[in-house]
């Protein structure tokens, strides 16, 4: 995209010259200079040189002093210098002091013998070792504390968390709050000596093709920069929250082609003004795939961050069911029937037992599904009408759902007259359309009969 209007490049002939049919030759009258061919050539050379200087000055800027230049048609403003080539340097210099490396420390595993290798031999506390590396950035200082944004998966299962500042200093960090759904976390460190704080840009104003930069700690190489473009401003990708291969959430992200490697997670994605427009979160790491990275848009991340600062968690409505997608269950049943149709059914039972880990998802998104040993798998004939092929099977009802009468083997097909075909849709409807304390109508099948029940959504409490 040009920094200039198209008319700057116009080759149109002046209307005044075009309208006269007279000879445009020089007049000798009143001028004591004879325009010989040599003098004409010299004058033409001087005019050409002057024109070249003028054009070069318009492109590069005559004034090289510090200042700010507003670009045309939404192009990022130039800070500190009028030279567009300096934009990446000034943007990186603005952001880098606020970027930190995150160290996730966990207890060492026990040795093969009876003696525990997880103690330090002093006070009996477990000896910690580095389990994961990631990135983060300081976004505010409040009452002597500096707050850091990073990814939840960067600090997951950590016994202790440390933040390494841009000057190499390591400080202990306290986890303020985490949210597995959006993969965000907020940390807190002592703010003494910290001056740099990140500024946020307008992620909603990003455009495909816009230049962006990723800063972080890839592969342990702290203070590392990569650059690329926005491949797509809004990409919806499925996410498996329990990492079991079943997608139970969808995340809106910015797709970029800037290199994102292990350790970049949690670091800032910045525009050429040095403002944060996203939090680097993930990449496609399959063989033969290059330049497909993703960042959480800042306008989506900040409400989550504010909730983590205020409550230590994100308050969401709670239905209270552990579920399994009906489509997944029916596919498993069909595969079992086809592969073991002549058997006595014991193999089919084994398949169902195995699917406890595969299909027991995180309920309505508020319950911790799949990890509770008390969650059972669907049993027997669900007795559904032939036209019912999508919905979610209740594996266990707790809290509000249990109080409302929902039970094992019920098949939920609608919430407030909105069809629900999967756990992902159930969770998206709850989090996107409902709030804590709202009433919800649940339509479900039990023993082949359609029923409805209405109750209030509660707030999820820690288990």
CATH code of the domain covering residue 250: 2.40.10.10
183 flagged as catalytic: yes
> Domain for residue 79, yes or no?
no
Position 66 in a domain: no
229 and 306 share one domain: yes
Which residue in 101, 135, 147, 183 is the catalytic one? 183
Residue 227 within a domain: yes
Regarding whether 296 and 216 lie in a shared domain, the answer is yes
Most confident of 1-5, 45-49, 258-262: 258-262
Q: Which CATH number covers residue 363?
A: 2.30.42.10
The answer to whether position 110 is within a domain reads: yes
Instruction: Indicate whether 305 and 341 sit together in one domain.
Output: no
The answer as to whether 363 is a domain residue is yes
Catalytic-labelled residue, pool 81, 101, 147, 153:
153
Per-residue model confidence as pLDDT tens digits over 224-238: 999 999 999 999 988
Residues 229-257, mean pLDDT to the nearest whole number: 88
At 53, the pLDDT band (50, 70, 90 cuts) reads low
Residue 196 lies in a domain: no
One domain for residues 139 and 157: yes
Same domain, 270 and 207: yes
For this structure, is 44 an active site residue? no
450 and 343 in a single domain? The answer is yes
| 380 plus 296 within the same structural domain | no
Q: Quick one: pLDDT band at residue 188, thresholds 50, 70, 90?
A: very high
User: For the chain, what is the domain count?
Assistant: 3
Q: Which residues contact 395 (CB under 8 A, 6 or more apart)?
A: 321, 322, 323, 324, 360, 369, 375, 376, 377, 378, 408
Q: Are residues 326 and 292 located together in one domain of the fold?
A: no
Domain that holds residue 154: 98-190
Residue 340 annotated as catalytic: no
| Max mean pLDDT range (59-68, 76-85, 206-215) | 206-215
Closest CA to 426 of 300, 249, 304: 249
Same-domain status, 301 and 321: no
Give the pLDDT band (50/70/90) at residue 192.
very high
Residues 180 and 295 in one domain: no
pLDDT (0 to 100) of residue 334: 85
The residue among 86 and 288 whose pLDDT is bigger is 86
* pLDDT category of residue 375 using cuts at 50, 70 and 90: low
Residue 121 lies in a domain: yes
pLDDT of res. 104: 95
Q: What pLDDT was estimated at residue 135?
A: 96
Q: Which of 81, 222, 265, 360 is catalytic?
A: 265
Residue 4 reports pLDDT greater than 50: no
219 shares a domain with 163 = no
Find the range with the poorest average confidence among 36-40, 296-300, 395-399, 419-423.
36-40
302 & 326 share domain: no
117 in a structural domain: yes
Whole-prediction pTM: 0.72
End residue of a domain, out of 190, 225, 257: 190
Domain boundary among 143, 167, 190: 190
Q: Which of 190, 211, 226 is the last residue of a domain?
A: 190
């Amino acid at each position: 995209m040009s920094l200039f209007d198209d008319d700057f490049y116009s080759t149109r002939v002046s209307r005044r010259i075009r309208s006269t049919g007279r000879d445009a030759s020089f007049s000798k009258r009143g001028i004591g200079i004879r325009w010989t061919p040599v003098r004409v050539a010299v004058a033409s050379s001087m005019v050409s040189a002057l024109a070249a200087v003028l054009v070069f000055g318009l492109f590069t800027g005559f004034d090289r002093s510090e200042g700010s230049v507003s670009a045309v048609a939404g192009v990022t403003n130039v800070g500190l210098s009028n030279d567009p080539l300096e934009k990446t340097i000034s943007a990186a210099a603005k952001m880098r002091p606020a970027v930190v490396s995150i160290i996730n420390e966990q207890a060492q595993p026990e040795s093969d013998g009876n003696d525990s290798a997880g103690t330090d031999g002093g006070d009996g506390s477990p000896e910690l070792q580095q389990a994961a590396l990631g990135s983060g950035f300081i976004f505010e200082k409040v009452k002597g504390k500096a707050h850091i944004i990073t990814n939840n998966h960067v600090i997951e299962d950590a016994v202790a968390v440390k933040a390494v500042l841009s000057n190499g200093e390591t400080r202990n960090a306290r986890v303020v709050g985490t949210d597995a759904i959006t993969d965000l976390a907020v940390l807190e460190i002592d703010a003494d000596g910290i001056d740099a704080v990140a500024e946020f840009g307008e992620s909603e104003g990003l455009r495909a093709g816009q230049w962006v930069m990723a800063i972080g700690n890839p592969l342990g190489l702290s203070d590392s920069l990569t650059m690329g473009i926005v491949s797509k401003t809004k990409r919806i990708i499925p996410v498996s929250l329990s990492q079991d291969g079943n997608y139970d959430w969808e995340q809106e992200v910015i797709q970029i082609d800037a290199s994102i490697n292990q350790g970049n997670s949690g670091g800032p994605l910045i525009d050429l003004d040095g403002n944060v427009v996203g939090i680097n979160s993930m990449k496609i790491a399959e063989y033969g795939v290059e330049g497909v990275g993703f960042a959480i848009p800042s306008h989506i991340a900040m409400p989550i961050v504010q909730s983590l600062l205020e409550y230590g968690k994100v308050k969401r409505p709670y239905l209270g069911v552990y579920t399994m997608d009906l489509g997944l269950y029916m596919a498993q049943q069909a595969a079992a029937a086809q592969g073991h149709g002549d058997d006595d059914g014991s193999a089919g039972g084994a398949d169902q037992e195995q699917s406890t880990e595969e299909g027991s998802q995180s309920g309505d998104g508020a319950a911790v599904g799949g990890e509770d040993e008390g969650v059972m798998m669907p049993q027997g004939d669900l007795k559904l009408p032939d036209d019912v092929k999508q919905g979610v099977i209740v594996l266990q009802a707790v809290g509000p759902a249990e109080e409302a009468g929902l039970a094992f083997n019920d098949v939920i097909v609608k919430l407030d007259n909105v069809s629900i075909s999967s756990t992902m849709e159930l969770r998206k409807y709850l989090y996107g359309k409902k709030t804590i304390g709202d009433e919800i109508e649940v339509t479900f099948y039990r023993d082949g009969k359609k029923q409805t029940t209405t109750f209030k959504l509660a707030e999820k409490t820690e288990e």
